Amino acid sequence: MNKREHDGKRLFLPVRAVKDWLAGDVFVKLTPLLWGAGYIRRRQFIKGFLAILFECVVVLFSISYGFPNIAKFGTLGTVKRATVYNPATLKNEVNQYDNSFLILLFGLVGLLVLAVAVVILMRIVTEARELQQKDEQGVHINTFREDIRDLFNQKFHITLLSLPSLGIIVFTIIPLIFMILVAFTNYDQQHMAPTELFTWVGLDNFKRLFNNSLSETFGYSFGKVLGWTLVWAFFATFTCYFGGIALSLMINNKRTRVKKLWRTLFVICIAVPQFVSLLLVRNFFADTGIVNTFCSNAGITDFLKSIGLVGQYLDHIPFLTEAGWAKFMIIIINFWIGVPYLMLIATGVLMNIPTEYYESAKIDGANALQTFNRITMPFMLSVTGPYLITSFIANINNFNVIYLLTQDVYFTMDTKLAASNAKDIDLLVTWLYRLTNDYYNYKMASVIGILVFVVCAVFTLVAFNYTFRKGREGRFQ
């Protein structure tokens, strides 16, 4: 006679809670007021005490932080900060002002705390009703020690996941929701808390993305940056992938000597932290840097000028300062960094290909190219397929390479991009970072962040559908 299950499925929690509350005895009915009532009646004193403690904490928090800020959530504050300097005390006297940022943050946290508290309360009510039924039926009710033991057995997942989840909620989920909300406000350099107030503007920021004029260039910039981001992710992923495979094939060849030495030499390049190696390479390829000196002395610059790859006005190769060259160099330098990494992974996979395949291919008279096409590549693709997808999505967000190589040296020549603080070689994330860090344009940065999410989500879905289908067709045979 389990009213809680309906056709074998459990009812939705709020519905269950209300039903249980209505059907419960006086202590169950008392529970929403005093959360430990149900437990205490059934002699689960410690649990009851903990429940009441939790209730106190929630109430305290809501009254001191939650409700005041939730009340102002609609306007995000109305009282601007004003100070009067008092020469007698040598301090500023400040009024009771509203800090829009903190109102948004604490309002959000307050709402979340309330939501969580309501869910927990519903759980407590249903448990109280369960306990009541157990009591009436004479079923054994857990002591505290038995509950604890459960937490290390059937309910171990709760123990395991509680701390990591807390960390994720506080440091990822809350900030994320906060920044998504910011996309609907006008929080930027002209509206910086605590001095200024900012408020909701609805979808205005998103509308700016569809504007395209000389002064409102966000739409134009977004299109260009998105385009380059996708092109870059494609090239970065696949050049490194095939480069890594080629390199590992060469090193793994049976007749290659001192394999470990070769591998170590290549690994040294990636072991140097990226912010050292990339900043170094930026200086290496600077307009007046050492590579350019070498190229001018060797006549390479003049040669490139004669075939038109270098502008006539320049007497150096603009490796990282001109749009076309910079894009090319970025892909090359990423190749430099990425190939050793892929080589290691490819080596690991190659070593696991059963040698029988190769031997039988040899007996059948296959040459090197056929072996590669029919055996090596399919095996490689099936094992590292998922890695390829995650790598593509990771490259969409590959901040380090672009930022470290171009930040202080690359200036755009596109006035429309410049008007929205973007550069031709920017990825969406580097543009986002620049808007946040240098121009305090948090609202547009949030809009871009949301769009990055949409782009990545689309690709993830497409990719997973594709591999899912392929997986069903049968694996490497």
Partner 1 sequence: MKKSKAPVDPALIVKKRHVNPRLLTGDIIRHLILALLAAIWLVPIVWLIATSFSAYEGRNILRFFPESWTLSNYARLFSDTDSVSNFPAWFSNTFIVACFTCVISTLFVLMVAYAMSCMRFRGRRALMNTGVLLGLFPGFLTMICIYYILKELSLTDTHAGLILVYSASSGLGYLIAKGFFDTISRSMIDAAKLDGASEAEVFWKVILPLSKPIIVYTVISAFLMPWMDFIFSNIIIKSRLSGDWTVAVGLYNMLHKSSVNTYFSRFCAGGVLVSIPISVLFVIMQKFYVESVTGGSVKG
Partner 2 sequence: MKKLAAILMALMLVLSLCACSASTTDTTTTETATEPETTEATTETTEIPDISLTLWGSELTEFQDALRVMADSFIAEYADEANITIEIGAQSESTAKDTILTDISAAADVFYYADDQTGELVNAGALQPVENADAIAEANGGYEAGGVQAASVGGTLYAYPAMGGNGYFLYYNKEYVTAEQAGSWAGLLEAANAAGKQVTMQLNSGWYLYGFFKGAGFSCSLADDGASTLCDWNTTGGTDVVQAILDITADSGFINLDDAAFVTGVQEGTIIAGVNGSWNAGTIQTAWGDNYATAKLPTYTLNGTEVQMGSFDGYKLVGVNAYSENVGWAMRLAEWLTSEDNQIYLYEATNGSAVPSNVNAAASESVQSNPVVAALATQSQYASAQSLSVGGNYWTPTETLGNILANGNPDGTDLQQLLDETVAGIEAAVG
Give residues 258-277 in contact with partner 1 (rule: CB under 8 A): 262, 264-277
- The Cα 197–Cα 101 span in angstroms is 8
Using CB under 8 A as the binding rule, whether residue 344 contacts partner 1 is answered as: yes
Q: Of 313 and 468, which CB lies nearer to partner 2 in the complex structure? A: 313
Using CB under 8 A as the binding rule, whether residue 468 contacts partner 2 is answered as: no
Burial class (CB within 10 angstroms; exposed 0-12, middle 13-18, buried 19+) of 4? middle
Smallest gap from Cβ 116 to partner 1, in A, equals 15
- Of the candidates 47, 243, 206, 65, the one whose C-alpha atom is nearest the C-alpha of residue 142 is 47
Helix (H, G, I), strand (E, B) or coil at 56: helix
- The Cα 230–Cα 447 span in angstroms is 18
Q: Which of 14, 175, 324, 471 binds partner 1 (CB under 8 A)?
A: 175
DSSP structure class, residue 93 = E
Q: Of 44 and 237, which CB lies nearer to partner 2 in the complex structure? A: 44
What residue 81 binds from partner 1, partner 2, none (CB within 5 to 8 A, per partner kind)? partner 2
Helix (H, G, I), strand (E, B) or coil at 200: strand
Using CB under 8 A as the binding rule, whether residue 110 contacts partner 2 is answered as: no
Smallest gap from Cβ 213 to partner 2, in A, equals 8
Using CB under 8 A as the binding rule, whether residue 145 contacts partner 1 is answered as: no
Q: Of 150 and 216, which CB lies nearer to partner 1 in the complex structure? A: 150
DSSP structure class, residue 140 = -
Q: Of 197 and 432, which CB lies nearer to partner 1 in the complex structure? A: 432
Q: Of 298 and 351, which CB lies nearer to partner 2 in the complex structure? A: 298
Using CB under 8 A as the binding rule, whether residue 92 contacts partner 2 is answered as: yes
- The Cα 204–Cα 148 span in angstroms is 52
Smallest gap from Cβ 452 to partner 1, in A, equals 5
Using CB under 8 A as the binding rule, whether residue 214 contacts partner 2 is answered as: yes
Q: Which of 436, 439, 463, 467 binds partner 1 (CB under 8 A)?
A: 436
User: Distance of CA 231 to CAs 226, 390, 402, 403, Å?
Assistant: 9, 16, 14, 17
Using CB under 8 A as the binding rule, whether residue 171 contacts partner 1 is answered as: yes
Using CB under 8 A as the binding rule, whether residue 195 contacts partner 1 is answered as: no
Region of 25-33, 40-48, 211-219, 425-433 interacting with partner 1 (CB under 8 A) = 425-433
Position 8, amino acid: G
Q: Which of 127, 130, 188, 426 binds partner 2 (CB under 8 A)?
A: 188
Q: Of 93 and 146, which CB lies nearer to partner 2 in the complex structure? A: 93
Q: Using an 8 Å Cβ cutoff, are 113 and 58 in contact?
A: yes
Q: Which of 1, 33, 271, 307 binds partner 2 (CB under 8 A)?
A: 33
CB atoms within 10 A of CB 364: 9
Binding to partner 2 (CB under 8 A) within 378-417 occurs at 408-409, 411-417
Binding to partner 1 (CB under 8 A) within 84-123 occurs at 101-102, 105
Binding to partner 2 (CB under 8 A) within 273-292 occurs at 286-288
With both helix axes pointing from N to C terminus, report the angle between 428-437 and 442-472 in degrees, rounded to the nearest 10. 160
- The Cα 340–Cα 443 span in angstroms is 39
Using CB under 8 A as the binding rule, whether residue 457 contacts partner 1 is answered as: yes
For residues 92, 96, 99 and 104, what is the CA-based torsion angle, rounded to 10 degrees? 160
CB atoms within 10 A of CB 230: 17
Using CB under 8 A as the binding rule, whether residue 178 contacts partner 1 is answered as: yes
Position 375, amino acid: I
Tally of CA atoms within 13 A in the half-sphere of 38 that contains its CB = 28
Position 179, amino acid: M
What residue 367 binds from partner 1, partner 2, none (CB within 5 to 8 A, per partner kind)? none
Smallest gap from Cβ 74 to partner 2, in A, equals 15
SS (H, E, C) 331-344: HHHHHHHHHHHHHH
Q: Of 45 and 464, which CB lies nearer to partner 1 in the complex structure? A: 464
Using CB under 8 A as the binding rule, whether residue 424 contacts partner 2 is answered as: no
DSSP letters along 384-443, please? Answer: HHHHHHHHHHHHHT-HHHHHHHHGGG-----HHHHHTT--TT--HHHHHHHHHHTT--HH
DSSP structure class, residue 171 = I
Smallest gap from Cβ 290 to partner 1, in A, equals 6
- The Cα 404–Cα 421 span in angstroms is 17
Using CB under 8 A as the binding rule, whether residue 164 contacts partner 2 is answered as: no
What residue 40 binds from partner 1, partner 2, none (CB within 5 to 8 A, per partner kind)? partner 2
Binding to partner 1 (CB under 8 A) within 366-405 occurs at 383, 393, 397, 399
Using CB under 8 A as the binding rule, whether residue 212 contacts partner 2 is answered as: no
Strand pairing of 9-10 and 83-86? unpaired
Q: Which two tokens stand for residue 94?
A: 């400040």
What residue 190 binds from partner 1, partner 2, none (CB within 5 to 8 A, per partner kind)? partner 2
**Total binding residues for partner 2 by CB under 8 A?**
71
Region of 68-76, 84-92, 319-327, 441-449 interacting with partner 1 (CB under 8 A) = 441-449
- The Cα 360–Cα 207 span in angstroms is 62
Smallest gap from Cβ 195 to partner 2, in A, equals 3
Question: Looking up tokens 């509206």, which residue turns up?
Answer: 191
